[in-house]
Amino acid sequence: MKKNMTITLTGIILIGAVIFYFVTFFAYTPSDKFSGFPVPKNAQLVKGNERVDMYDWSKASEENGIPSAYRLVIKSKGWKEKGGEGASTYYEKGNKKIDLISQTNELTLIKDKD
């Protein structure tokens, strides 16, 4: 009985971990424009130019920043948080720099001048 309970609990935990992985990591896509920086798949591009893209994204918040799952994905892709100011957070990977601005329902990515 105890062995069956352990196997069941382990199975539930593994299934939960797999679901979390797929939901978290497949919800973002690498952006060619921003050197592979992950962008939420369900974010709608509102406007952009060669250095800036603005997205409508319901999970962005000025008060709370970006969701922790998004931070985890950014970190897992090799981007390091290098500080920030207000709604802006700076990320670096090698010699590439991205400024991520999270405002209420709006996500803005700005790349450094090359």
- Domain span at residue 12 reads 2-111
> What percent of the chain is modeled with pLDDT above 90?
69
Tally of domains in the chain: 1
Q: 103 in helix, strand or coil? A: strand
| Residue pLDDT, tens place only, 68-109 | 999 999 999 999 999 988 899 999 999 999 999 999 999 999
Which pLDDT score is estimated for 24? Answer: 66
Q: Please tell me the pTM assigned to this model.
A: 0.82
pLDDT (mean) for 31-39: 95
| Residue pLDDT, tens place only, 47-61 | 999 999 999 999 999
- Provide CB contacts within 8 A for 55, sequence distance 6+: 39, 40, 43, 44, 45, 46, 106, 107, 108, 109
Q: Which two tokens stand for residue 59?
A: 């999970």
Kindly report the number of other CB atoms within 10 A of residue 102's CB atom. 24
